Structure 1
Amino acid sequence: MSLNLLKLQIVELIEKHRRITAVADQLGLKQPTVTYHMKTLEQEMGVRLFEPRMDKIILTEAGKALLHYAVKINSLSSEAQRIVGEFGRMSRGSLRIGASYVPATYLLPRVLREFAAQYPGVTVSLSVKPSPIITNMLLNHEVDLGIISTEVFRQPPIELRTICEDELVLVCAPGHHLASYSELSPALISTANLILHGKESSTRQMTDRWMELWGIRVQGFLELDSLEAIKQAVMQGGHASFVSRLAVQSEVERGLLVVKDIPDFEYVRNVCYAYNKDRHYSQLLEQFIGFLHADRSSTAPVSGVNKEMLGSI
């Protein structure tokens, strides 16, 4: 038995639309043709995969098990066609970049502008998500390259290389009571009204570990997913927050925010680019990484990642 790619596409689209008419429209087929492929797939697998429910079609438990692999196979098939199409035509193509909030906002705009100027025919799509989500997108081949703020981790087949340091600091407005102290202690920080990042953020995960280590229990706090919203709220004067030093350089230079070192903060975080070793290292990807290197000439390997691994990206 050999699985037909079209049938696997139908499985994925049935889960998405739950209507044969919508699946047929998206694939450019007639409804009876879609129905035929669904029936023959069930015959080939020897199990029921689709179940009519009112005016919809849903996947059975066996269908959902097949869906897990159909999504991966369809993604790899699409990627293979796209990568092969890049050869011999560097003036066209597409790149899917995933980035966490700090590099997406404070590092990538200049890189994207310079890359677009040299390769105007290349389409670059950017997904901005927390670092753990970008890592999962790399694992699932949903993006070609991840640019994330992260601690060093090992999660084969993901590989990392440092672009620059991304130190976490505590920020407050000049009139905030913490601003007058030359050095802070965990006890002092516990007296502040804090604004915390969303739970999926790597910044939140690191600060939660630090607060747990020092027994800091925050009774009331704001939780915001937007880094810009956090900065604006802190500048109002009533709150403090843990943020990337890169993210507040402009506000600090203009005297809008004050930066304080976090006491006994031993976690090291960098802005890195991340790559899935299981995908082909395309020419476009090589060129884009070159622009990252040009923008940050101090690029150095992440501790614990060997030169042989780095050579493959």
Structure 2
Amino acid sequence: MNWNLIKLQIIELIDKHKRITTVADELGLKQPTVSFHMKNMEQELGVGLFYSKAGKVHLTDAGQSLNHYAKKINALAQEAERVVKEFDERGSGHLKIGASYVPGTYVLPSILSAFSKRYPHISISLTVRTSPIIQEMLLNHEIDIGVMSAEPFQWAPLIGETLCEDELVFFFSPDHRLARYETLYPEFLKDVPFILHGQESTTRTMTLKWAKNLGIELRPVMEMDSLEAIKQAVLTGDSVSVISKIAIAKEIEHKELVYHVIPHNPFKRYIYFTYNEDRIRSSFFGNFFDYLRDSVRTY
């Protein structure tokens, strides 16, 4: 089959937008041209890749299989173009960074702002997602660098270099009855309203593993994806939750929240600087890593 990048871009964009007109506009093509490429791919492969439903275009199972590779190839093509162009742009370039919620919300914004002032010719984009999604983005060559909170991991070809520990703690309002105890024992939590993190959260996973190991049955009353929403719920109610100590540093300083270490907790979590060893690194990759490493020493 005579593949070209346009066809692979169409596959990926159809899956994203579900409309031929939107795909045509994004690629700068006419709608009949996009339709022609779609039909041509199906004829050459001898299998249906698309189907229409409720005015939208979807990928068949075969189309989804092709899209898995299309996304990888498209990302590699974009990476190749970027790397080659940087040789002729005298230190200018673009860093695509992905971060999990704690570093992406509470650590990176000030660091990226200061880095941009020092290196004004380098533009930066930051995507904040869960750690598993950031790992997938690194594997698919969609980002240059990942900064994420996670348990120790080995997932070739990803390289993870530890920046600092990301300690998880129990936290609650200063008026909460648990605040009067100097030590928080696991059995104190049995009948306390508990807020769980969202399904894909590594904090949720570690919390439930801890409770299971100790035979503690938590009493979840809410489930939230947003760290800020969890903080507000704890501030204004009688609930308890688990959070990164970094995420509540200001509230602790202002005595708006109190925390206790997690008792008998064998699980360690760290903030990692992560990258794909198969991805070509730009000339300023090392500059950013050094700057980031020096900056997080304060945490």
TM-score using structure 2 length: 0.90
Distance 1:203 1:44, change over 3 A: same
Following the alignment from structure 2 to structure 1, what is the Cα–Cα distance between the partners of residues 55 and 110?
50
User: What's the RMSD between the two structures over aligned residues?
Assistant: 2.4
Deviates further, 220-229 or 269-278: 220-229
Residue number in structure 2 paired with 1:11: 11
In the alignment, does 2:58 pair up with 1:97?
no
Following the alignment from structure 1 to structure 2, what is the Cα–Cα distance between the partners of residues 235 and 55?
46
Residue number in structure 2 paired with 1:248: 248
Residue number in structure 2 paired with 1:188: 188
Q: Deviations over 1:74-106 (max 9, x none)?
A: 121112112222224254322211111211222
Residue number in structure 1 paired with 2:228: 228
In the alignment, does 2:41 pair up with 1:34?
no
Secondary structure at 2:120 match in 1: coil
Distance 1:61 1:105, change over 3 A: closer
Residue number in structure 2 paired with 1:198: 198
Residue number in structure 2 paired with 1:127: 127
Question: How far apart are residue 204 of structure 1 and its match?
Answer: 0.9
Contact 1:90 1:283 in 2 (8 A): no
Residue number in structure 2 paired with 1:310: none
Residue number in structure 2 paired with 1:114: 114
Contact 2:189 2:218 in 1 (8 A): no
Following the alignment from structure 1 to structure 2, what is the Cα–Cα distance between the partners of residues 113 and 54?
44
Secondary structure at 1:107 match in 2: helix
Contact 2:86 2:93 in 1 (8 A): yes
Question: How far apart are residue 141 of structure 1 and its match?
Answer: 2.0
In the alignment, does 2:213 pair up with 1:213?
yes
Contact 1:164 1:298 in 2 (8 A): no
Question: How far apart are residue 53 of structure 1 and its match?
Answer: 6.0
Question: How far apart are residue 163 of structure 1 and its match?
Answer: 0.7
Q: Deviations over 1:38-59 (max 9, x none)?
A: 3443343344434566865544
Secondary structure at 1:278 match in 2: coil
Residue number in structure 1 paired with 2:85: 85
Give unpaired runs (5+ residues) of structure 1: 300-313
Following the alignment from structure 1 to structure 2, what is the Cα–Cα distance between the partners of residues 184 and 16?
47
Give unpaired runs (5+ residues) of structure 2: none
Question: How far apart are residue 73 of structure 1 and its match?
Answer: 0.9
Following the alignment from structure 2 to structure 1, what is the Cα–Cα distance between the partners of residues 156 and 27?
35
Q: After the TM superposition, list the runs of 4 or more consecutive aligned residues in structure 1 that deviate by more than 6 angstroms.
A: none
Distance 1:199 1:90, change over 3 A: farther
Deviates further, 178-187 or 35-44: 35-44
Distance 1:38 1:173, change over 3 A: closer
Distance 1:88 1:294, change over 3 A: farther
Following the alignment from structure 1 to structure 2, what is the Cα–Cα distance between the partners of residues 14 and 106?
35
Residue 175 of structure 1 aligns with an amino acid whose one-letter code is D
Following the alignment from structure 1 to structure 2, what is the Cα–Cα distance between the partners of residues 211 and 55?
48
Residue number in structure 1 paired with 2:139: 139
Secondary structure at 1:242 match in 2: strand
% of aligned pairs identical?
Answer: 49
TM-score using structure 1 length: 0.86
Contact 2:172 2:257 in 1 (8 A): yes
Distance 1:15 1:222, change over 3 A: closer
Following the alignment from structure 1 to structure 2, what is the Cα–Cα distance between the partners of residues 20 and 64?
17
Residue number in structure 2 paired with 1:172: 172
Distance 1:132 1:64, change over 3 A: closer
Secondary structure at 1:265 match in 2: coil
Following the alignment from structure 2 to structure 1, what is the Cα–Cα distance between the partners of residues 50 and 56?
10
Contact 2:195 2:220 in 1 (8 A): no
Contact 1:86 1:284 in 2 (8 A): no
In the alignment, does 2:156 pair up with 1:149?
no
Following the alignment from structure 1 to structure 2, what is the Cα–Cα distance between the partners of residues 84 and 137?
21
